[in-house]
Copies of this chain bind each other. A is one copy, B any other.
Amino acid sequence: MDKVVCVPIGIVRSPFKTVEGTPIQPVGAKGVRGQIELREEFSAGLKDLEGFSHLILIYYFHLSKSFDLEVKPFLDDERRGVFATRAPKRPNSIGISVVKLVGIKGSLLIIEDVDIVDGTPLLDIKPYVPQFDSRKTKKIGWLSGKVRDADRSRADDRFR
C-alpha cells in the first residue's frame, strides 16, 4: 500500500485559535470546552455514543508542515526521536486525544478537556474503553519526571 487517503469526518472547535498557547495534552486542558462539528452525512454513526463518558479523537495536525526525525519536545531540552515524542511534526501528522463527552445534539458533540487547535480536521471518533486502552507501564523513558509539567505547558511555534 503506497498511500492511505482519509477524508475528514468533521472539524474540532476549541478556544485555541493558534498553536501558540494551546495545551500540549488534555491534562493541561481540564474543563476546557470544545465542539465537534461532524459532517451531517456521518451523524447516524453517533448512535449509542452518548453512553460513553470519554472519547478517543483521531485528528490531523493540519498546521504542521513537513517533519523531522529528531525533535526537541515541549517537555524537554534535548532532541528526541520523533516516535518517542508526541510532537505534531511527524511523518504522518496524526494526533490522538482522550476527551470527555458532555453531550450530543444532532451532528454536534460537546466535549471537554480539549487540547486541540480550533479548526483541526477530525479523522475518527472511538469510544474510550479502559479495558482496551489503559495499561500499567513499567517505564516512560525520557518523560519520567517530566509528565507533571504537561498540565501547565503550552505549545509554542516550534512545530509549525
Contact = CB atoms under 8 A, between A and B. Distances in A.
Interface of A: 1-9, 25-27, 42, 44-54, 56, 58, 60, 62, 69-70, 80-86, 90-92, 94, 96, 98, 121, 123-144, 147-148, 150
A85 B125 CA distance: 9
From A3, A132, A143, residue with most partner B Cβ within 10 Å: A132
What is the total number of copies of this protein in its complex?
A: 2
Contacts of A91: 7, 9, 42, 45, 124
A123 B48 contact: no
Contacts of A49: 81, 83-84, 141
- A-side interface mostly: mixed
B96 A56 contact: yes
Contacts of A70: 44-45, 47
Nearest to A38: B83
A58 B135 contact: no
B123 A52 contact: no
B141 A48 contact: yes
Nearest to A81: B47
A80 B49 CA distance: 9
B9 A92 contact: yes
Contacts of A45: 69-70, 81-84, 91
Contacts of A53: 137-140
